[in-house]
């Protein structure tokens, strides 16, 4: 039962995140700073993982003892986590850029290219071998994303009083985020192999390293606005909800990986794309064309095909995304 409950939550979270990020970046009113939202998401994840480690360790004394043994006394191991931490900060900021320039449905489909980048880095870094069906599914994925992109008009458009929309910028941001996601996921999995440190404690290390990077990013790119209007400029209840939703994504994936399998995880991702497409028609007046439908079908089919392989051959890199 827990397997299917976690799977359902992941499906809803995937669909809701794409729709919510799109709405937050195109609605009327003051625009919040995405760089500060990334910082807050990392803070929420850190707090949540510390609570989980506290519950698992059995008390506050045991919590501090675990932190001392696995973080403070192993500085080099903690520093190694800074690499994916820095990458994840950049990736999360790129996702906000992508959501600002792509409709929710196209954003969701395009971001599935992270499956391709994950597989490529798994082969290069972990020396994993992929079956012919998996390579076929990756080819289907690329074709599907290309069809989706060509189905939509290019150029700059304006929605409400929000920022200008440029599909090329949005696509390049999403593509860059996919490359970073693949690399960081493979790197993080390599760190987990042969280590007795739990996923939750690794996430604590990630957040400890990510928060300074995210804060630096804030003040480098948005320092003037923050000094004049404050760190939480543009925040309202919806933005706080978005931060919680983004922070919970990585934690939900960890639960799904523990209790479900890759086929079911692929089903959840596919269903989330369908939900986003249908919802975008009513929420954002998204024009569902035949070419987009075919492209989305290729993407969804590729996910199923990639998952229908023996578990030992399936790369789970992206499941450790934080």
Using 50, 70 and 90 to split pLDDT, how confident is the model at 299?
Answer: confident
pLDDT confidence of residue 46: 92
Q: What is the pLDDT of residues 106-150, one digit of tens each?
A: 787 788 788 788 888 888 887 877 788 878 888 888 888 778 767
Alpha-carbon gap, residue 14 to 275, rounded angstroms: 9
Give the N- to C-terminal CA distance of the chain in Å, as an integer. 25
User: CB-side exposure of 95: number of CA atoms within 13 Å?
Assistant: 25
Q: What is the mean pLDDT of residues 278-306?
A: 80
Q: What is the mean pLDDT of residues 218-222?
A: 85
- Which residues are paired to 156 by β-bridges? 166
Q: What is the pLDDT of residues 153-180, one digit of tens each?
A: 544 444 444 556 788 888 899 899 989 9
Alpha-carbon gap, residue 57 to 287, rounded angstroms: 51
Alpha-carbon gap, residue 199 to 43, rounded angstroms: 17
- Please tell me which residue, 155 or 39, carries the higher pLDDT value: 39
CA–CA distances in Å: residue 237 to residues 32, 231, 242: 12, 15, 9
- The vertex-12 CA angle with 8 and 15, nearest 5°, equals 140
Q: With contact defined as beta carbons under 8 Å apart, do 14 and 272 qualify?
A: yes
Whether the predicted pLDDT of 285 surpasses 80: no
Closest CA to 123 of 272, 317, 280, 321: 317
The reply to whether the predicted model has a pTM over 0.85 is: no
pLDDT confidence of residue 2: 67
Percent of the chain clearing pLDDT 70 (strictly above) = 82
Q: What is the mean pLDDT of the chain?
A: 79
pLDDT confidence of residue 159: 43
Number of H helices, E strands in the chain: 13, 2
Alpha-carbon gap, residue 78 to 173, rounded angstroms: 29
Indicate the SS3 state at residue 52. Answer: helix
Using 50, 70 and 90 to split pLDDT, how confident is the model at 309?
Answer: low
């Amino acid at each position: 039962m827990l397997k299917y409950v976690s799977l359902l939550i992941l499906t809803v979270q995937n669909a809701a995140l794409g729709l919510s990020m799109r709405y937050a970046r195109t609605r009327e009113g003051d625009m919040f700073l995405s760089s500060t939202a990334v910082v807050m998401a990392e803070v929420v994840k850190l707090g949540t993982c510390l609570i989980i480690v506290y519950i698992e360790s059995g008390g506050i004394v045991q919590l501090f003892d675990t932190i001392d043994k696995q973080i403070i006394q192993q500085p080099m191991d903690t520093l190694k986590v800074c690499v994916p931490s820095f990458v994840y900060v950049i990736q999360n900021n790129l996702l906000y850029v992508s959501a600002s320039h792509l409709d929710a449905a196209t954003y969701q489909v395009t971001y599935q290219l992270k499956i391709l980048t994950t597989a490529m880095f798994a082969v290069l870094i972990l020396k994993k071998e992929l079956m012919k069906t998996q390579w076929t599914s990756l080819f289907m994925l690329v074709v599907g994303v290309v069809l989706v992109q060509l189905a939509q008009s290019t150029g700059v458009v304006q929605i409400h009083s929000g920022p200008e929309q440029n599909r090329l910028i949005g696509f390049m941001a999403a593509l860059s985020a996919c490359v970073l996601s693949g690399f960081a996921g493979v790197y993080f999995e390599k760190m987990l192999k042969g280590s007795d440190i739990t996923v939750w404690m690794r996430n604590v290390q990630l957040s400890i390293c990510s928060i300074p990077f995210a804060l630096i990013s804030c003040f480098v790119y948005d320092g003037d606005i923050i000094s004049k209007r404050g760190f939480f400029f543009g925040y309202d209840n919806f933005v706080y909800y978005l931060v919680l939703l983004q922070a919970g994504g990585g934690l939900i994936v960890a639960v799904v990986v523990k209790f479900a399998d890759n086929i079911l995880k692929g089903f959840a991702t596919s269903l989330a794309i369908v939900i986003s497409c249908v919802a975008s028609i009513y929420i954002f007046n998204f024009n569902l064309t035949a070419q987009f439908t075919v492209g989305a079908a290729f993407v969804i089919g590729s996910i199923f095909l990639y998952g229908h392989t023996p578990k030992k051959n399936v790369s789970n890199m992206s499941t450790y995304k934080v």
